[in-house]
Amino acid sequence: MLYADYAAKGVAMIAINSNETENHPTDSFEHMVQRAKEKGFKFPYVRDESQDVARAYGALRTPHFFLFDQQRKLRYTGRMDDNPRVPGNQTTHELRDALDALLGGRTPVVQLTNPIGCNVKWKGKDPHWMPPEACDLV
């Protein structure tokens, strides 16, 4: 697990659930608490009820990773790897590569990838709606 590999190196993590819950009740806070217990999360898992955080960061998918350096400068955003649906079949590891680069005092070679996952479920929008500014990033 990513957290287990990087927490001891001083990397802090947080998961933020921004999905609306009226049409997606399994994204409710109560279900989040249950999921965190079942998965043994050792990092904060918080709720963005207003969806302001998702809008502020430009989150498009779940998951969508944002990696910041010690000065809180965004250094990588996008997917964890190229094949999150089939464990062991990844050929790239962009998030880990970016973490390793920052921990080694280097700039990540890849700083932007298109996130892979379900789109964020926006309040009052069709389940497959994406913001107009969303596009293929790479």
Structure tokens at 22: 């009226």
pLDDT of residue 67: 98
The answer as to whether 125 is a domain residue is: no
Q: Which domain holds residue 87?
A: 2-119
The answer as to whether 43 is a domain residue is: yes
Find, among 28, 38, 93, the residue nearest to 67 by Cα.
Answer: 93
Taking only the tens place, the pLDDT of each residue in 20-35 is 999 999 999 999 999 9
Q: How far apart are CA 18 and CA 57, in angstroms?
A: 11
Q: Give the pLDDT mean for 69-91.
A: 95
pTM: 0.91
Number of domains composing the chain: 1
In this structure, what CATH number is given to the domain that contains residue 115? Answer: 3.40.30.10
- Whether the pLDDT of residue 138 is over 50: the answer is no
pLDDT of residue 120: 94
Percentage of the chain beyond pLDDT 70 is: 96
Note the Cα 109 to chain centre separation in Å. 19
End-to-end Cα spacing for the chain: 26
The average confidence (pLDDT) of the chain is 93
